[in-house]
Structure 1
Amino acid sequence: MTEWSEATDVLVEAADRLLEAARSGKPCPPVRETLPGRTAETGYAVQEINTRRALHDGRRLVGRKVGLTSQAVQRQLGVDQPDFGMLFADMAFLDGLPIPTGRFLQPRAEAEIALVLKGDLVGGPFTVAEVIRAVDFALPAIEIVDSRIAGWDITLVDTVADNASSGAFVLGNTPVPLTGLDLRLAGMTMTRRGQEVSTGAGAACLGHPLNAAVWLANALGGRDFPLRAGDIVLTGALGPVVAVEPGDVFEVVIDGLGSVRAVFS
């Protein structure tokens, strides 16, 4: 067996482990110990295996998420840049309608600003002006992050391989054009069952949510799945992440964008 085929077998084994954890509902041990180099690119190679499997199974790609946009989380994982994961149509839930908590393993909720594109971002590198021109509107969003890895015992390669710890997302229903918005100063409050559990602002997301969008466009522009018109971009957390329990009702209010609710059955 060649060195290349051995490496490929290891990547497939890691992808299989994560897929089985999601299928069975039983978190798995970290995959980092089995992966060569333990680099972000190794993690993305595992992520791509499961992305292609999902597409082959008929799941539809509708966007991307940016993770690790907080400097504190980057320091915790020993990295100096964000990561990205894939968003599929079956990960989207409606504002205020029940979300089955049982579909997740270790869910946590975070407030984000979502951007919806009206133009492709293929190639690059891109300027912020080009990304702004490609954005149709913004929405408030709640991302439900989840980990297939037991106890959230993750490093960079683990979370990247695990589709950037994606779980699901809820979007608000009132689109707002970027014209006149200052997303950097947009304040955010998240409540759980009426009690405040997280606050922040757009500046917490790489200094500005558009910075995260530009990073993502440049990270994906030369890959097999660049950003396309109609795609949703979850730009990253605006404040602390909060654990989810059955029966929780989260509401996020973002200045200039309105509100969105995630209701867990």
Structure 2
Amino acid sequence: MTRPAEDELADIARRLYEAEQNRTPIRQLSLDYPDMTIEDAYAVQRALVALKVADGREVKGRKIGLTSKVMQRAVSIDEPDYGALFDDMFIEDGGRVPLGRYIRPRVEVELAFVLGERLSGPGVTLFDVLRATEFVTPALEILDARVQMSDPETGHLRTIVDTIADNAADAGLVLGGRVFRPLDVDLRWVAALLLRNGTIEESGVAAAVLNHPGNGVAWLANRLAPHGVSLERGEVILSGSFTKPVFAEPGDSFVADYGPLGTVSVTFDSGAS
């Protein structure tokens, strides 16, 4: 059985952090440790988060990924995954970011929940989430890969343990559009078009996120409970994408159009960070 030993977890986290800083992805953990478990991967993620906090970065929220059944089946899991949002990941709506800040960025459409009260599992329900949420806003998430997406020698694709260890592939987010209270809109029917350079690339409706995007937030609060972690007042929770991710190339401009809820956008400039 090939799993990372306890004393290897911190080293893996350090390698991932260096990959982010150097813009060079590491070899897939799933190849080096074929029997690595999801809990092993989350242990690496926690060590990675601790490294970043020790380096002065601040956790400002959480993201939820793999919320659609299609994506879960594709990576052979039956639940979403999650990662941490840091203060330096937030990008102003309409902002321009250098593509060289990332390795291989992709863009997804989401709803962001901003909490007005703490949510502590177990037993958190959708109704608890709606009551605790101060407001919801349209969002774009930027994904990146500090682990090789495809092994150059074998073509082996990264697995769920690679993604989880890599902070669920989180790299950035943009909040924008119209801010609204969660009971003022039927969140299931929030829809968006994702345009790249004026052309529609993806579209979706928020019910694709676990039947209701608030269900993702409830799942996360309950999933974190065994680790003694709560979702805190003021935190931003990305509830999961309802479109497929789209790769960004130099000069690409992305706009997510939420109709009556407004738009949110970002442009990727060529060049390094």
Deviation per residue, 1:26-57 (Å, 9 max, x gap): 11110123448422111100000010111111
- Inter-partner Cα distance in structure 1 for 2:67 and 2:125: 19
Q: Could you tell me which of 96, 99, 108 is aligned with 1:98?
A: 96
Shift of 1:124: 2.5
Shift of 1:258: 1.8
Q: Could you tell me which of 42, 45, 48 is aligned with 1:47?
A: 45
Matches within 5 A, 1:98-117: 98-117=96-115
- Inter-partner Cα distance in structure 2 for 1:239 and 1:221: 28
Letter in 2 for 1:10: E
Bigger mean CA deviation after superposition, 172-181 or 140-149 = 172-181
- Inter-partner Cα distance in structure 1 for 2:163 and 2:149: 12
2:153 matched residue in structure 1: none
Bigger mean CA deviation after superposition, 6-15 or 18-27 = 6-15
Verify the 8 A CA contact 2:122 2:225 in the aligned structure 1. Answer: yes
- Inter-partner Cα distance in structure 2 for 1:163 and 1:90: 14
TM-score, structure 2 normalization: 0.91
- Inter-partner Cα distance in structure 1 for 2:231 and 2:46: 15
Verify the 8 A CA contact 1:138 1:257 in the aligned structure 2. Answer: no
Letter in 1 for 2:131: R
Q: Could you tell me which of 258, 261, 264 is aligned with 2:265?
A: 261
2:87 matched residue in structure 1: 89
Partner SS, residue 121 of structure 2? coil
Q: Could you tell me which of 221, 246, 250 is aligned with 1:246?
A: 250
Say whether residues 1:132 and 2:130 are aligned partners: yes
Shift of 1:15: 1.3
- Inter-partner Cα distance in structure 1 for 2:132 and 2:241: 22
Runs of 5+ in structure 1 lacking a partner?
1-5
Partner SS, residue 10 of structure 2? helix
Letter in 2 for 1:160: I
Partner SS, residue 187 of structure 2? coil
Letter in 2 for 1:193: N
Letter in 1 for 2:232: R
Matches within 5 A, 1:142-181: 142-151=140-149, 153-172=157-176, 174-181=178-185
1:207 matched residue in structure 2: 211
Shift of 1:171: 0.4
TM-score, structure 1 normalization: 0.93
Over aligned residues, Cα RMSD in angstroms? 1.5
Deviation per residue, 1:206-240 (Å, 9 max, x gap): 12101111111111234244210000010111112
2:118 matched residue in structure 1: 120
Letter in 1 for 2:109: A
- Inter-partner Cα distance in structure 1 for 2:221 and 2:259: 25
- Inter-partner Cα distance in structure 1 for 2:177 and 2:205: 20
- Inter-partner Cα distance in structure 1 for 2:26 and 2:149: 9
1:235 matched residue in structure 2: 239
Partner SS, residue 226 of structure 1? coil
Shift of 1:256: 4.6
2:154 matched residue in structure 1: none
Runs of 5+ in structure 2 lacking a partner?
151-156
Say whether residues 1:197 and 2:201 are aligned partners: yes
- Inter-partner Cα distance in structure 2 for 1:244 and 1:54: 25
- Going from structure 1 to structure 2, the CA distance change for 1:180 and 1:173 (only over 3 Å counts) comes to closer
- Inter-partner Cα distance in structure 2 for 1:255 and 1:214: 26
- Inter-partner Cα distance in structure 1 for 2:158 and 2:230: 26
Verify the 8 A CA contact 2:112 2:237 in the aligned structure 1. Answer: yes
Q: Could you tell me which of 64, 67, 70 is aligned with 2:65?
A: 67
Verify the 8 A CA contact 2:121 2:223 in the aligned structure 1. Answer: no
Tell me the percent identity.
40
Partner SS, residue 116 of structure 1? strand
Letter in 1 for 2:219: W
